[in-house]
Amino acid sequence: MDERTEIKAVELVRSIRDRQAELLSGKSKEEIIEFFRQAGEAARREIRSPGRAGNKRLHAENLQN
């Protein structure tokens, strides 16, 4: 497979940062902390989900360890 995907990492990170800043504008420290806590929990659930095709290998490796 010689296909390549170009990823513009800096632009991607800036885009994510800008969207988060917009979402969190005017929020209290507690609300900001809760936002990131919920995002972290969602990410952990996604990683643990054996039904997701992209995570099958990762899930299998975690079961072996």
Q: Does residue 2 fall inside a structural domain?
A: no
Average pLDDT in the 48-53 region? 67
CA distance 46 to 64: 18
Instruction: State the pLDDT confidence band at 53, using cuts at 50, 70 and 90.
Output: low
Rounded to 5°, angle at Cα 32 from 44 and 21: 100
Domain that holds residue 43: 28-65
Instruction: State the pLDDT confidence band at 3, using cuts at 50, 70 and 90.
Output: confident
pLDDT mean across residues, the chain: 84
Q: Does residue 33 fall inside a structural domain?
A: yes
Total number of domains in the chain:
1
CA distance 23 to 19: 6
Q: Pick 65 or 50 by higher pLDDT.
A: 50
For the entire predicted model, the pTM comes to 0.58
- Read off the pLDDT of residues 54-63 as tens digits, 9 standing for 90 and up: 555 555 555 5
